[in-house]
Amino acid sequence: MMRDNKEIRLGLYRKIEVARKHLPGMDEEAFRGLLRSEFGVESRKDMTVPQLSRLVHHFARLGVEYKAPAKSRNSRVTANARPDFIEVTDSMPYAREKRQILAIWRKLGYSMTSLDTRVKRAFGAHCFLWLHDGEKIGILLSDLQRREKSFEKRQARMAASAD
């Protein structure tokens, strides 16, 4: 289940506003200058979803930490209600490796929210997309490749025994 484009945009807008409040010197003029120099637009409304995502990650690299609210006002919204989807844009550091990790993670049947938990516990990054250390990404990818081989062997044994 995918979120619609409007819902994704609104979430990214909220993160951008959080970042603007937390970054010193990010007044309206500085923000507009950033949009012009990095994206060639005057307003965030003129940006695509991938561009908005890049802007959020740019702010994260500048030190902004995004924290989930303690409790949702909507009781039907839970941590598990989040779609099982993570977008990796080409502009992200180690995009190819991150896509490999996501593909293996999905193949093994793990939920995407558990990937964030693993990254936070193992490497201290708040979420998978904010992991920018090549060595740590390599460690995670190597571990998942070992798990994938083991998984494939198990699948082959099960298939052989079913015949």
- Nearest to residue 86, comparing CAs of 108, 113, 60, 107? 113
- The reported pLDDT for the residue numbered 72 is 44
Q: What is the residue-averaged pLDDT of the chain? A: 82
Residues 51 and 83 in one domain: no
Q: Are 42 and 2 in contact (CB under 8 A)?
A: no
Domain extent, residue 87, equals 79-162
Question: What does the DSSP assignment read for 8-70?
Answer: HHHHHHHHHHHHHHHSTT--HHHHHHHHHHHHS-SSGGGS-HHHHHHHHHHHHHTT------S
Residues 91 and 156 in one domain: yes
One-letter identity of residue 95: A
- The reported pLDDT for the residue numbered 81 is 43
- The reported pLDDT for the residue numbered 82 is 44
Residue 137 has pLDDT above 50, yes or no: yes
In a domain, 70, yes or no: no
Residues 97 and 24 in one domain: no
Residues 87 and 150 in one domain: yes
Residues 85 and 150 in one domain: yes
Between 1-5, 22-26, 57-61, 106-110, the lowest mean confidence (pLDDT) is in 1-5
In a domain, 67, yes or no: no
- According to DSSP, residue 63 is labeled T
In a domain, 66, yes or no: no
pLDDT in tens, 45-99: 999 888 888 898 888 888 887 765 544 444 444 444 444 567 787 878 888 999 9
